[in-house]
Amino acid sequence: MDTKGTYFGTAQYNIFFEPVITSKIATKYIKFIAQLGLFLPVGDQELNFDYQFLIFNFGINFNLGRKYYDL
């Protein structure tokens, strides 16, 4: 990968495809989010760096100060 070009058209870059599956489990005030995916190079350039093939993300979302009304 040569990034010595002065603009995007002269430099050499590689493209990655990242399909991901997202899962969400939620209660009234807390939401758990998990993502599992792949990191696949699809360009024809040789990669001069290491990358991880598998992606995993996990997060927790808290809803604070929100009023819920029973309908």
**Is residue 25, in this structure, part of any structural domain at all?**
yes
**Is residue 21, in this structure, part of any structural domain at all?**
yes
**Is residue 28, in this structure, part of any structural domain at all?**
yes
Can you tell me whether residue 69 is helix, strand or coil? coil
Residue 22: domain span: 16-43+52-62
**Is residue 11, in this structure, part of any structural domain at all?**
no
**Is residue 38, in this structure, part of any structural domain at all?**
yes
- Domains identified in the chain, total number: 1
**Is residue 9, in this structure, part of any structural domain at all?**
no
What pTM was computed for the model? 0.60
d(CA 24, CA 30): 11
**Is residue 2, in this structure, part of any structural domain at all?**
no
Q: What is the pLDDT of residues 19-54, one digit of tens each?
A: 999 999 998 889 999 999 998 888 777 777 788 889
CB 62 within 8 A of CB 68: no
